[in-house]
């Protein structure tokens, strides 16, 4: 195949994919240097976390590197809450996403609503051609008032993390806990 000078086959493939609206550079699967989602069957420990309005019980957790923890999340508050595992920087970024979800009407004070495909201008929100905004990060779960949910995670290395609710205003009101992963 003849290609103009300076044009590589990979560049040509990328151009073809763009021409046919195939997401060649779709965001990679979420990966986290501190661990990964796991099945509940692999859990070596279960930790119950109660979500009250603007606080968690317990307020801190100690985990061992390599441990797989099944978090059972019980929302005893009157509001929708989230448990998100990450660093303070990750939470600040996620809070911006959650704010956009709230502004779109997808998040209400007590629930998350599915948005019909194409109902939002995702390009304007920095999401490219997404067909629907989702809250589907493997390190995060939303729990409606009076409901229970689970998140199971294998912690791969030692470090300091937080578990937090990134619904607008909740983190700032104190809905954050310390998660210490030791060797």
- 148-181 pLDDT, tens digit each: 999 999 999 999 999 999 999 999 999 999 999 9
Domain count, the chain: 1
List alpha helices for 23-182, DSSP H. Answer: 88-104
> Is the pLDDT higher at 151 or at 118?
151
Looking at 15-19, 103-107, 115-119, 143-147, which range is the least confident one? 15-19
Domain residues for the domain of 133 are 34-182
Q: How confident is the model at residue 48 (pLDDT cuts 50, 70, 90)?
A: very high
- 90 part of a folded domain: yes
Mean pLDDT over residues 30-53, rounded? 95
For residue 166, give every residue at least 6 positions away whose Cβ sits within 8 Å of its Cβ, in sequence order, or none: 82, 84, 91, 94, 95, 97, 98, 140
**pLDDT score of 112 more than 80:** yes
- 130 part of a folded domain: yes
pLDDT confidence of residue 55: 98
Mean pLDDT over residues 106-113, rounded? 92
- 167 part of a folded domain: yes
**pLDDT score of 106 more than 80:** yes
Residue given tokens 């495909």 in the structure block: 117
- 39 part of a folded domain: yes
pLDDT confidence of residue 56: 98
pLDDT confidence of residue 115: 57
Mean pLDDT over residues 71-100, rounded? 97
Residue given tokens 């979800």 in the structure block: 101
Q: How many CB atoms lie within 10 A of CB 68?
A: 20
- 64 part of a folded domain: yes
User: Do residues 56 and 49 lie in contact, with contact meaning Cβ atoms separated by under 8 Å?
Assistant: yes
- 57 part of a folded domain: yes
Q: How much is the pTM?
A: 0.76
Report the relative pairing of strands 68-75 and 81-86 from DSSP bridges: unpaired
- 142 part of a folded domain: yes
**pLDDT score of 82 more than 90:** yes
Q: What's 136's domain CATH number?
A: 2.60.40.420
- 69 part of a folded domain: yes
């Amino acid at each position: 195949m003849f290609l103009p000078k300076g044009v590589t086959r990979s560049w040509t493939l990328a151009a073809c994919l763009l021409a046919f609206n195939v997401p060649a550079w779709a965001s990679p699967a979420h990966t986290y240097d501190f661990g990964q989602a796991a099945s509940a069957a692999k859990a070596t420990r279960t930790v119950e976390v109660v979500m009250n309005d603007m606080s968690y019980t317990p307020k801190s957790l100690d985990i061992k590197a390599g441990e797989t923890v099944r978090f059972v999340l019980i929302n005893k508050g009157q509001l929708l809450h989230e448990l998100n595992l990450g660093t303070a920087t990750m939470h600040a970024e996620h809070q911006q996403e959650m704010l956009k979800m709230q502004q779109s009407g997808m998040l209400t004070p007590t629930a998350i609503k599915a948005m019909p495909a194409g109902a939002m201008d995702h390009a304007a929100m920095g999401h490219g051609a997404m067909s629907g905004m989702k809250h589907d990060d493997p390190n995060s779960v939303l729990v409606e008032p009076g409901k229970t949910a689970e998140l199971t995670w294998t912690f791969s290395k030692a470090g300091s993390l937080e578990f937090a609710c990134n619904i607008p205003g909740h983190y700032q009101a104190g809905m954050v806990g310390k998660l210490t992963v030791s060797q």
